Amino acid sequence: MVLGNKPNISFGIQLKYLIDGLKEIGHEILFIDHLLDTKKKQIIANNFKPELLLVWTFFHDVGHPTTSIEEIKKLRSVSNPMVVGFEVSDTTRLSDKAFKLIEDLNPDIILTPSRWSKDAFGKLLCPIEVLPHALSPTIVQGKYIKMNHVDLNYKGFKKVMLYSQHSPERKGYDIALDVARRISKEYNNVKFFSKIKMIDPNSRNVVVPILGFMTEELLYSYFNSMDYFLYPVRGGAYEIPVLEMLALGKTVIIPSNGAWTDIPLSEDDVYWIKTKGYVRIWKDNPYHVGYMVNVDKEDAYEKMKYALENKKEVNRGEYVKEYHYKRIAERFLEIIKK
């Protein structure tokens, strides 16, 4: 039984991929939305009698008007299932509030998507296991299409994707824009695109904005139209766009420290931006209270400049195989059976 997010945010989307993979392998999965009424959750649990209860996520949902620890205790009292909790750390350390939630949940296992995130959990009584995020079936099955209008409007250009769907400071968007400004003055055949929620006044005349929410097919068609992915991200627990761009065979430029360093299958598959220790970005987040990576802005520029003349040849098939949603489901089963 899964108590989790609807697939309208990244956590919920990843949960859907995991459930899809488990179902394809042959497992019966019951999904219950965090927002469902408590009594209805209890009735469903009584009828289903789960062997495993996966709570995905619990920092962001437990203790809010959605789900409480007491509610979970009632659900687990039905059949005494194994309890697995999924959560992340975007910084080097989690807060006492986060650790109190872990203690109250009392899970058998905690899942998190990277070694960086795992280290932030410190030493707990329960095992902390790394389960990478999965590729979308849209990429796995090649359902994206090439965006003809991008090629028609910018034929002959080297196209670079920037990304800051949210949290621009954490994503290093200021560094990316600085690099884009400098490169645009030196090269007349490079065009920068940006996946953002709304037009950033600082990016006018620097990037072509790709705005708003869209279908996966449309999003990945934009991604697939690019040649490069410049992502000087400072913090996060995984950073899925890095995986997606590698699985599309693009030349990726990312910092040499952080959660995303787990993703490349070879160090030679990406260009690494130098980092200079750590920096405190968030000062009021209730869960993520540690440091992020201090990215070297000048080296980001130098690596982007070098990459423009030296594209990577990435074996996209290896990424599709290693991060296939069914393969991640198999790894999930391997973890819980230890």
Same structural domain for residues 186 and 278? yes
Name the residue among 209, 214, 270, 267 with its Cα closest to residue 242. 270
The share of the chain scoring above pLDDT 90, in percent, equals: 71
Same structural domain for residues 166 and 151? yes
**What pLDDT sits at residue 169?**
94
Whether the pLDDT of residue 288 is over 80: the answer is yes
Query: What would the two tokens of residue 192 be?
Result: 């920068």
Backbone Cα Rg of the chain: 21
Please state the rounded mean pLDDT for residues 206-214: 86
Please state the rounded mean pLDDT for residues 10-27: 94
Q: Domain residues for 102?
A: 2-134+324-336
Q: Which residue has the higher pLDDT, 227 or 60?
A: 227
Same structural domain for residues 152 and 79? no
Same structural domain for residues 309 and 328? no
Query: What would the two tokens of residue 56 be?
Result: 């995905």
CATH code of 292's domain: 3.40.50.2000
Interhelix angle 69-76/96-105, nearest 10 degrees: 20
Please state the rounded mean pLDDT for residues 24-49: 90
**What DSSP string describes 111-130?**
EESSHHHHHHT-S-SS-EEE
Say how many Å lie between the first and final Cα of the chain, rounded.
19
The share of the chain scoring above pLDDT 70, in percent, equals: 98
Whether the pLDDT of residue 146 is over 90: the answer is no
Same structural domain for residues 219 and 291? yes
Average pLDDT along the chain: 92
Same structural domain for residues 86 and 206? no
Whether the pLDDT of residue 199 is over 90: the answer is no
Same structural domain for residues 176 and 272? yes
Whether the pLDDT of residue 152 is over 90: the answer is no
Same structural domain for residues 260 and 329? no
Whether the pLDDT of residue 155 is over 70: the answer is yes
Q: What is the pLDDT of residues 267-283, one digit of tens each?
A: 999 999 999 999 999 99
**What pLDDT sits at residue 148?**
65
Name the residue among 171, 131, 167 with its Cα closest to residue 15. 131
- For residue 56, give the 3-state DSSP assignment: strand
pLDDT band at 65 (very low <50, low <70, confident <90, very high): low
Q: Which residue has the higher pLDDT, 303 or 167?
A: 303
Please state the rounded mean pLDDT for residues 35-41: 88
pTM of this structure: 0.94
Same structural domain for residues 330 and 313? no
- The answer to whether 16 and 31 are in contact (CB under 8 A) is no
Q: What is the rounded CA–CA span in Å between residue 163 and residue 196? A: 6
Same structural domain for residues 313 and 205? yes
Query: What would the two tokens of residue 124 be?
Result: 């707990």
Same structural domain for residues 176 and 83? no
Same structural domain for residues 246 and 99? no
Please state the rounded mean pLDDT for residues 165-171: 91
Number of domains into which the chain is organized: 2
